[in-house]
Structure 1
Amino acid sequence: MPCRLAGMLLLLPAVALALPLEGPLSPLPAPPELAPQRVELGRKLFNDPRLSRNNSLSCANCHRLEQGGADHQALSPGIDGQLLAVNTPTVFNASLNFRQFWDGRAQTLEEQAHQVVQSPSEMGSDWQLVVQRIADDPDYRAGFAQAYGQGVDKHTIENALATFQRTLLTPGSRFDRYLQGDTAILTIEEKYGYQRFQEYGCIACHQGVNIGGNMLQKFGVLGDYFKDRGNPTVADLGRFNVTGDEEDRHVFKVPSLRNVAVTAPYFHDGSAATLEAAVDVMFRYQLGRTPSAEDKALIIQFLKTLTGQWQGKPL
């Protein structure tokens, strides 16, 4: 079903912009209070290249926390330097997505870790080898015994990684503060941008606490993106690769727009190098509309208010 709400919202007078507009968006919660020993184990594992077959690659190589939780590359190099098939999404706020991976094949962060370690193009390893390496480290052995009351195994490694990732929330964006009642935090242009974001229908798919990440949608609802782009790949089939269902061809998880201004390039193929280019693609292929230059600029200004904070500092 096309993500279109255009025409359903009336143009609001300027005075109405003093208050948050009604819409299915909500502020990010504070990071959860989780068992600190498990969080610390997960942090160490996240940065540990021993999870990869040849000890060359850690989760942090692609998910750089100092770069918005991604790495600013269209396609990241995986094991042995081979490029991955899809763009690396940000790890920030990933725990709030209803599924993981662009094709939604994992329902939990634990399941995602399970698959990444064994992926021939990502970590290229196997769990027997990873467990042995981690269990051979006396510091890890002591840490897992203290945090889990048992030795190192696949399930506790997966859980530790997932526990750490669940703390990677980025509340405190200016837009969140606006939703919480600080109406002066946004400029009039940014408020109009939020209004246009709703009017054009962007909010139909980019909604909820993560402003996306809670549904699957066809890429190219109102135009053949892949034909126009050319050079089709297996990864372009999206969820079809998981289900084999023809209705899932070119279907992907709708990405979160949290921190979107600092996580370029965009889309599963990393084809949009700038936020401006990404907005153009969305209007053409998802909404089937051509915005005025002013409206496009206003929406981009709004999107820049979605950048949150991690450890008390803006991303």
Structure 2
Amino acid sequence: MTKVLGAWMILVSGMRWDTFTVFCRVAGVLVIASASAMAQDEADKLHERAKSMFGAVDESPDDQMERPIVELGHRLFWDERLSSNGKVACANCHTTSAWGADSAQFSLDAKGKRTKRNSQTVFNSMLQPNLRWTADRKSGAHQAEKSLTGSMGFARADDVLPLLTRYGYEPLFKAAFPTQPSPVTPVNYAKAIEAYEETLTTPAPFDRYLAGNRVAIDAKQKEGLRLFLDIGCADCHSGKLLGGEDVAMFGVYGDYWTLTNSQVPDEGLFESSENEADKFHFRISMLRNIDKTGPYFHDGSVSDLKAAVTIMARLQVDRELRGNQIDSIVVFLKSLTGEVPMNYQRPDALMSPR
């Protein structure tokens, strides 16, 4: 350091004042340019890391909405008449205000009972390989058909058929399944709902960032993204949905209920598999629209996103995050929020008095 200062003094001692001024200005410009180049390099590296870990969600094409099977599924999804008490539809547990999830801790079914687990969002859900908290539904159609004897309250799936006939659904089924002589079936009911749910995608600012629009998310969100990657959140929450694909243990570094204050510990996948290795295993939640889809975790035990991030860091990666780190990650997560799909509303055909 002494040698550098000495060389600097020798260099400037022979300069005229005006020459020295120009020299300093040029040096300043070079320092700024170097810092800018370094910042750009870091931004490029972050962008490349993000592209390697995540993927983009695309908007559903308009022509998808006009398919007869989608129009049928749209009606079925929102029609409360197609339940055992005439008051519950799929949309009751997947509300617009909660971005396709349920803001209640547990949903109310057609038998007047609360569900065992919190209802997850239906938005982007058809991009997942399996559904529900323990990945026990293999497709949207599987889930929809099972819901007939679940949340819809019927003793048998076929019990919905007289209601479909009564409320004039036969022409819609024939249009959706034109090659079938008798298309009004629980299987086709489920296929139609799945087709509708496939249109419920929510592209977000983060997708535009991944596509190359570097200003689609701001500096604070980029800092949160960097932390999300560095801390290890993306080890589980990766892919185009930032999760939603695998099953993992909730509570790697401690019993989850000690931090979530869950009233009754839920053993997750173990309840159906009876395999000890599956205890407290749940499907990893996707983080798309996570800012809008609380309460959080399988039992809806945590209502605040900052608290959920704090708990996840402690239980899953053994990190005690500082307040500013939590804030940065939450700001980043908000870049995953898209718009409620235009067709996620009660169809006009169901608006008329019954």
Q: Which sits farther off after the overlay, 283-292 or 14-23?
A: 14-23
Provide closer, same or farther for how the CA distance between residues 175 and 53 of structure 1 changes in structure 2, counting only shifts above 3 A.
Answer: same
The match for 2:202 among 166, 170, 173 is: 170
**Partner residue in 2 for 1:27:** 56
CA–CA separation in structure 1 for the residues paired with 2:230 and 2:99: 28
SS in 1 for 2:282: strand
CA–CA separation in structure 2 for the residues paired with 1:230 and 1:96: 29
CA–CA separation in structure 2 for the residues paired with 1:230 and 1:181: 42
* Aligned partners of 2:270 and 2:279 also within 8 Å: yes
Q: Which sits farther off after the overlay, 239-248 or 303-312?
A: 303-312
**Partner residue in 2 for 1:259:** 289
**Partner residue in 2 for 1:249:** 279
CA–CA separation in structure 1 for the residues paired with 2:135 and 2:82: 23
- The answer to whether 1:83 aligns with 2:83 is no
- The answer to whether 1:231 aligns with 2:229 is no
CA–CA separation in structure 1 for the residues paired with 2:109 and 2:186: 21
- The answer to whether 1:222 aligns with 2:247 is no
**Partner residue in 1 for 2:191:** 159
* Aligned partners of 2:250 and 2:256 also within 8 Å: yes
Q: Which amino acid aligns with 2:229?
A: Q
- The answer to whether 1:271 aligns with 2:298 is no
CA–CA separation in structure 2 for the residues paired with 1:67 and 1:46: 16
Q: Which sections of structure 1, spanning at least 5 residues, go unmatched?
A: 1-12
The match for 1:142 among 171, 176, 198 is: 171
CA–CA separation in structure 1 for the residues paired with 2:329 and 2:219: 12
* Aligned partners of 1:219 and 1:225 also within 8 Å: yes
Larger radius of gyration, structure 1 or 2?
Answer: 2
| Structure ranking higher on relative contact order (CA contacts 8 Å, 6+ apart) | 1
Deviations, residues 222-256 of structure 1 (Å, cap 9, x unaligned): 111135535325xx111112211111111000011
* Aligned partners of 1:17 and 1:191 also within 8 Å: no
Percent identity over the alignment is 34
* Cα offset, 1:220, TM superposition: 0.3
SS in 2 for 1:217: strand
SS in 2 for 1:51: coil
**Partner residue in 1 for 2:25:** none
**Partner residue in 2 for 1:104:** 135
Aligned residues: 295
CA RMSD of aligned residues (A): 1.8
**Partner residue in 1 for 2:330:** 300
CA–CA separation in structure 1 for the residues paired with 2:308 and 2:262: 17
CA–CA separation in structure 2 for the residues paired with 1:280 and 1:179: 26
Provide closer, same or farther for how the CA distance between residues 301 and 227 of structure 1 changes in structure 2, counting only shifts above 3 A.
Answer: closer
- The answer to whether 1:18 aligns with 2:54 is no
Q: TM-score, normalised by structure 2?
A: 0.79
